[in-house]
Amino acid sequence: MSNDDSSNQRRKKQSQAQARRATNPLSNQEIQRHNFVFCHIHIQPNKEDKMELSNTTKKTLATAAGILALSATGTASAYSTSVGDSTVSIYGYAKLDVIYDVDNELGNSVMRGAPLLDGQEGSRGHTTMHAYQSRIGFSTSTPLKGSELKTRIEGDFYGGGGGELRLRHAYGEWRGILAGQTWTNFTSFIATTPTIDFTGVGGQPLGHRQAQLRYTSGNFSVAIEDPKDRGGEVDAIGAKSQLPDVTVRYTDRSGPIKYSTSAVGRYLEYDSAGLATPQDSDNTFGWGIALEGSSDLTDSLTVRGGVTHGQGIGGYMNGAVISSPAFVDSDGDLQAIEATGGTIGASLALGEGDLNVAYSLISADIPDSYSQPSKNEEFNEAWINYIWSPAENVKYGIEASWHKRETVDGRSGDATRLQGMVMYSF
């Protein structure tokens, strides 16, 4: 075999492996927005007819196109139709999760604070089946003044603890300006190892979605974001959010290495004046930083990892030991809570899918004035799964995960979860 033939085969294998990874059902991860191949159905007026369509005609065409798209058969992973200059797409999937908790029950998705501590009594062995991660979304794309106007609305069924429709994405983007609700600008997902469980690997920026106004130029992006959503408010009577959180991120690559660095700044405050049990008022600055990276070591092996740290970072870290970014001490002063997390993982292309392994550690430095013996101060977890696709639009997966928590007073407890999935996408 010639060197050229060998190189071509390596490139082909690498492309196949990367394509499989790009369609893995990552939990709470950005890749799910982009793993659909659009099948276009065009319904347009005769090009020779220059007359402008009436609103009624446009609606009729849109309805007809939608019916055709939804009734179309084939292997495409989404349905799209063109109406005028706009492309409208519908996409989604139905996913069944089958869960067996070897120890105590950990919830519909893993709750890291749930494992029983040593010496605690509780029932063991629990089966759960649900389809709450199933989702449906709509997107549009319209050429506008030399750029492209994009919109997206997407929901799943994790609302109300499970079973109710909830909003995931609702945003528009034009000329680098994004407005609406989508993934926080603090995360890049580069350090994210695929999991079947919806919670995903901890110790990295949380892939949560919140309202924001973002500007992107090249590899750099900056945003102002809702300060009291997933980032969390301070643990105090009279907690308030006077200013939005500010996030910045830079993402790039060098050869097989992809990397990202991001930061968040927060104005944390409480003011209990006029309340029944006033504490006082104070404010402090909260911040967080994250470094994420991944590298394709071979045609079939990718490794990734990341570190997240901050004071007052709160829920911006996935698996945060304490979601509140700050607390009020005995003197009435607001104190930001320091937290650190890290993760490392790898994906190996194997057969029709990928074998994924990951480990993460999350800890918080809890001051004595806020500490209680039963408070968690550290989480450890390990994941292994195999996710494969025997046919286009079909994915299966099996997974085992181990979760441990440690409390301020030195106690610990762990639990094991086994999980499988079947996912059909459209």
Cα end-to-end span (Å), the chain: 40
pLDDT at position 35: 36
pLDDT of residue 127 exceeding 80, the answer is yes
Nearest to 24 by CA among 419, 402, 343, 349: 349
Q: What is the mean pLDDT of residues 340-366?
A: 98
Main-chain phi, psi angles of 14, to 5 degrees? -65, -40
Dihedral of CA atoms 316, 317, 321, 324 in degrees, nearest 10, equals -10
pLDDT of residue 259 exceeding 80, the answer is yes
Please report which confidence band the pLDDT of residue 330 belongs to, taking 50, 70 and 90 as the band edges.
confident
How far apart (Å, rounded) are the C-alpha atoms in residues 181 and 327?
Answer: 28
pLDDT at position 300: 98
pLDDT at position 63: 36
Category of 314 on φ-ψ map: left (φ > 0), alpha (ψ -120 to 50) or beta? left
How far apart (Å, rounded) are the C-alpha atoms in residues 34 and 395?
Answer: 16
* Tokens encoding 419: 């999980």
pLDDT at position 60: 37
Model pLDDT for residues 171-199, shown as the tens digit of each residue: 999 999 999 999 999 999 999 999 999 99
